[in-house]
Chains A and B, each alone.
Chain A
C-alpha cells in the first residue's frame, strides 16, 4: 500500500474514533441536549412533575405533538416549570390544560394536553395555567393503606378515633 493511502486511512480511523466519542458523549451520554426540530415553545407550571424527563413526548389525544425541552424550578413560586416545544402546525387554545401521565405501570411519564374552547390561541412562550401534577404512586398507596387501616375495627376503643378520617 502506498504511503499516502495508509496515512489517509489512519487519519480517517482516528477521526472516526473521536467522532464516535463525541457522539457517545453528546447523544448517548448526558453531556448535552439534542437539537429539536423547530416548533414553538410553551410553558406550563406544575406542583410536581414526578419522573418527567427532558425530551419526553407531549401528546394530545394520545398523538405526539411535541417534546419537553427543559424542566426547571421557578425561584419565586417554587413550582416546577416545564418548557415544551410544540409542532408548528398545531395551535393550542389559551385555556388548554396540561397533565402528566404515566405510560403503563413502569413506563415513562409524558405530558398530555387537553385543548379547551377558547377562540384565542397560545402564542410562542405562552403559559398554560390549568395543570394537573404527576400522580405519585407512593402517595396513592399511602392514602389507600391509611384509609384501610382506619376502616378495620382494631379495638372498640380506637373506633371513635378512626371515624374522623
Chain B
C-alpha cells in the first residue's frame, strides 16, 4: 500500500476501500494489456520451436511425477470414499461412474491446475522475476529484442499446451487408482465397474468439457505466473512476494473460473 502509514480510523474505511478497488481495476487493466501483448507475440512467433520445447519440458515433463502420484492417491481416495457410501445402497457397481465422473469433470482439471500453479507457476514467476532483477529484460529491450516474444510468449504457450496433457494423464491415472481400490481390494465386479463407467461418461459432454476447462486453466495460471514475474519488484524479497501472489492468485482464479465454466457447460 502506498502512502504514509497512519493510524487507521473508522472513517478511513471507505476511502481505503475505494483506493483498493482502483488498484484492483488498474491491475486488471495492465495485466490484460500484458496478456494481449504476449498473445500478439505468440501469433507472430519470434521464438523457435526449440525454445517452446524447452518450456514444455520445464512446465510439463518436470510436473509429471507430481501429477501422477497425486492422481493415484486422488483416485484411490475416491474409490474408498465412494465405496463406503455406495455400499450402503447396494450400488457399489456405480463406483466406476463416480470415480470417473468426479475426476474427468472436476478433480482432474482443477487439481492439476492447483498443483501446476504450485509447481510450474511459481517457478515461472521466480524465473522471470530473477531475469528482471538481474536486468536481463532491460538488456533485451536495449538490444531491441522484444522480451514478450522471447521470454513470455513461449512460456505462456507451453503452459497452454502442457495443462490439458497433464489433466488427461491425471484422469487416466486417477481412474486406474480408483480401479485398484474397487476391483482387487473391495471386490466390485470388474465388468460392472467399466461398463457402468462407459455407460455414464460421455465423450463430448464430460471428457471434452474437462479438457476445455484445463485449457482455460492453463492459460489463466501461466498468465498470472508470467505477469506476476514481469511486474515483480526487482529485489529478492519482491520476487519472493510475487511467487506467493502467483500461487494464491492462480488458486483463487482457478476455483472461481471453475465455477463459471461448470455453470456454463454442464
Which residues of A are in contact with B by a Cβ distance under 8 Å?
1, 3, 6-7, 9-10, 12-14, 16-18, 20-21, 23-25, 27-31, 34, 53-57, 64, 67, 103-108
* Residues from chain B with Cβ under 8 Å of A10 in the complex: 53, 56-57, 60-61
Query: Roughly how many angstroms separate A23 CA and B54 CA in the complex, as a whole number?
Result: 27
Q: Which of A25, A27, A54, A67 has the most CB of B within 10 A?
A: A27
Chain A residues whose C-beta falls within 8 Å of the C-beta of B203 in the assembled complex: 25, 29-31
Q: List 29 A-B contacts (CB under 8 A).
A: A1-B57, A3-B50, A6-B57, A9-B57, A10-B60, A10-B61, A13-B57, A13-B162, A14-B56, A16-B64, A17-B164, A17-B168, A20-B165, A20-B172, A24-B104, A28-B104, A28-B172, A28-B198, A30-B202, A31-B203, A54-B195, A55-B195, A57-B191, A57-B192, A105-B89, A106-B89, A107-B91, A108-B93, A108-B196
Min CB distance B201 to A, Å, is 5
Nearest residue (CB) in B for A67 is B191
Q: How far is the CA of A12 from the CA of B104 in the complex (A)?
A: 22
Beta-carbon contact of A64 and B201 below 8 Å: no
CB–CB B169/A55 < 8 A: no
- With both beta carbons as reference points, the residue of chain B lying nearest to A1 in the complex is identified as B57
A31 CB contacts on chain B under 8 angstroms: 203
* Nearest B residue to A66, CB-CB: B191
Residues on A with C-beta less than 8 A from B53 are: 6-7, 10
CA distance A31 to B91 in the complex (A): 24
- B171: interface (CB < 8 Å): yes
Interface size on B, residues (CB 8 A): 40
Distance from A148 Cβ to chain B, minimum over Cβ atoms (Å): 27
Bound Cα distance from A88 to B192, whole angstroms: 21
**Can you name the residue of chain B whose Cβ is closest to the Cβ of A110?**
B192
Residues A34 and B168 in contact, CB atoms below 8 Å apart: no
| Chain A residues in 8 Å Cβ range of B191 | 55-57, 64, 67
Chain B residues within CB distance 8 Å of chain A: 50, 53-54, 56-57, 60-61, 64, 89-91, 93-94, 100, 104, 161-162, 164-166, 168-169, 171-172, 175, 189, 191-192, 194-199, 201-203, 206-207, 211
Tell me if A30 and B171 are in contact (CB < 8 A): no
Q: Which residues of A contact B194 (CB under 8 A)?
A: 27, 34, 55
With the chains together, A103 CA to B192 CA distance in Å? 11
Residue among A1, A3, A55 with max Cβ neighbours from chain B (10 Å): A55
On whether the beta carbons of B171 and A28 are closer than 8 Å, the reply is: yes
Q: Report the minimal beta-carbon distance from B107 to chain A, rounded to whole angstroms.
A: 14
CB proximity of A71 to chain B, nearest CB, Å = 11
B197 touches A106 (CB 8 A): no
The contact of B172 among A23, A30, A53, A107, by CB within 8 Å, is A23
Report chain B residues within 8 Å CB of A13: 56-57, 60-61, 64, 162, 165
B195 proximity list for chain A (CB < 8 A): 53-56, 108
Chain A nearest Cβ from B195, distance in angstroms: 4
Residue numbers in A under 8 Å from B196 (CB-CB): 53, 108
**Are B165 and A16 neighbours in the complex by a CB distance under 8 Å?**
yes
A residues in contact with B168, CB < 8 Å: 17, 20-21, 24
Q: In whole angstroms, how far apart are the Cα atoms of A34 and B211 in the complex? A: 23
Cβ-defined partner of A103 (8 Å) among B90, B172, B207: B90
User: Contact: A64 with B198, CB < 8 Å?
Assistant: no
**Chain A residues, CB < 8 A from B198:** 27-30, 34, 54-55
B175-A108 in contact (CB<8A): no
Given known contacts A10-B56, A53-B196, what 18 new A-B pairs fall within 8 Å (CB)? A3-B50, A13-B60, A14-B56, A16-B165, A17-B168, A21-B211, A24-B172, A28-B104, A30-B203, A34-B198, A56-B195, A57-B192, A64-B189, A105-B89, A106-B89, A107-B91, A108-B192, A108-B195
